Amino acid sequence: MTDTFQMADRTVRRIGLGAMQLPGPGVFGPPRDRGEALRVLRRAVELGVNHIDTAQYYGPDVSNELIRSALHPYPDDLAIVSKVGALRDEKGGWRSAQQPAELRAGVEANLRALDIDHLTAVNLRLMGEQGPSEVALEDQLAEMVALREEGKIAGIGISTVSATQFAAARAITEIACVQNAFSLVDQSDAEVLDACTAAGIAYVPYFPLGSAFPQMPKVVDQPGVQAVAARLGVPAARVGLAWLLARAENVLLIPGISSVAHLEDNLAVAGLRLGPDDLAELDGVAA
Ligand SMILES: NC(=O)c1ccc[n+]([C@@H]2O[C@H](COP(=O)([O-])OP(=O)(O)OC[C@H]3O[C@@H](n4cnc5c(N)ncnc54)[C@H](OP(=O)(O)O)[C@@H]3O)[C@@H](O)[C@H]2O)c1
């Protein structure tokens, strides 16, 4: 199994880090433990992580500030990937922000906060299937293409897209990566994943462990996952991540974490190979 994959102008290790759990509860406000958040970022890079996924609206303004405080000046090989298309209101609610001027402002806010002049990739985060009042996909992508031509982003990603939207986006411009929800407990996006695999495009599943949102099912709670983990003598999260790595070579991991213990747990997935029996049992979990 390969341990790296190409994303825009970088070759990244397949095991990266999601920065969404670094701010406070509900991805809002300062971290519960700022020292631990900084340690997570520094330890990740020390252990070889060279792909960090962030957003200006995590906090808002918290994840990027932590990344800059922990890691600037950045290692040469570090790929920082962000996303645009949303904003937070004063109570932490999520709002779409998909006008071209908002997308541009979002990219520029990320560059300023991270103190860099270009991002490896920026995901255009859609808000599901578009209704008539939404901004047309072509208009959103036209702005992303302009930002790429100006050198502010090396690659354009697209996030929370249906197979139809993904095909439409690819017909408009080159897509460097796709970020959709996918895990052992939610395989509804298999069609887009398979399309990315066929096209050699990085597929970066979000909610790889089922998310931190309490109402959503968790990979680690599934009896089938726990059974495989017990047999192999490893934590259940590692089994869920190993299953994703085994799913296809273009799958890149960005589990969200807020502790060094979880970071080290998850990075150890590099040493875990699931056998055919394990995979068959886990496929049963998914069904
Ligand atoms: N494009 C998008 O719209 C979008 C949407 C959501 C997320 N994302 C990105 O995807 C990343 C991953 O998604 P996510 O963070 O929402 O969900 P996730 O990675 O599925 O789950 C995060 C949760 O799993 C826990 N966890 C992590 N490692 C663990 C381990 N070894 N054992 C037990 N629990 C563990 C974390 O706990 P601790 O915090 O205690 O470590 C946290 O509660 C995000 O960080 C973000 O960068 C993108």
Task: Decide: 39 and 6 in contact? Cβ < 8 Å.
Answer: no
- Catalytic positions, please? 58
Residue 142 CA to ligand 1 center (angstroms) comes to 31
Q: Is 10 helix (H, G, I), strand (E, B) or coil?
A: strand
Residue 117 lies in a domain: yes
* Ligand 1 atom index nearest CA of 262: 31
**CATH number where 99 lies:** 3.20.20.100
Q: Is 135 helix (H, G, I), strand (E, B) or coil?
A: coil
Residue 241 lies in a domain: no
Residue 24 to residue 19: CA distance in whole angstroms: 11
Residue 76 lies in a domain: yes
Residue 140 lies in a domain: yes
Residue 242 lies in a domain: no
Number of separate domains in the chain: 1
Q: The pTM is what?
A: 0.97
Residue 226 lies in a domain: no
| Model pLDDT for residues 146-205, shown as the tens digit of each residue | 999 999 999 999 999 999 999 999 999 999 999 999 999 999 999 999 999 999 999 999
pLDDT in tens, the chain (287 residues): 889 999 999 999 999 999 999 999 999 999 999 999 999 999 999 999 999 999 999 999 999 999 999 999 999 999 999 999 999 999 999 999 999 999 999 999 999 999 999 999 999 999 765 665 689 999 999 999 999 999 999 999 999 999 999 999 999 999 999 999 999 999 999 999 999 999 999 999 999 999 999 999 999 999 999 999 999 999 999 999 999 999 999 999 999 999 999 999 999 999 999 999 999 999 888 75
Residue 223 lies in a domain: no
* Ligand 1 atom index nearest CA of 266: 31
Measured by CA distance, the residue closest to atom 26 of ligand 1 is 257
> Beta strand 119-125 with 79-84: parallel, antiparallel or unpaired?
parallel
Residues of the domain holding 130:
4-215+249-273
Residue 29 to residue 234: CA distance in whole angstroms: 33
Measured by CA distance, the residue closest to atom 23 of ligand 1 is 212
* Ligand 1 atom index nearest CA of 204: 10
Residue 280 lies in a domain: no
Tell me the longest C-alpha to C-alpha distance in the chain. 53
Residues lining ligand 1, judged by CB closer than 6 Å?
18-21, 53, 83, 123, 125, 159-160, 179, 206-212, 220, 235, 237, 254-259, 262, 265-266
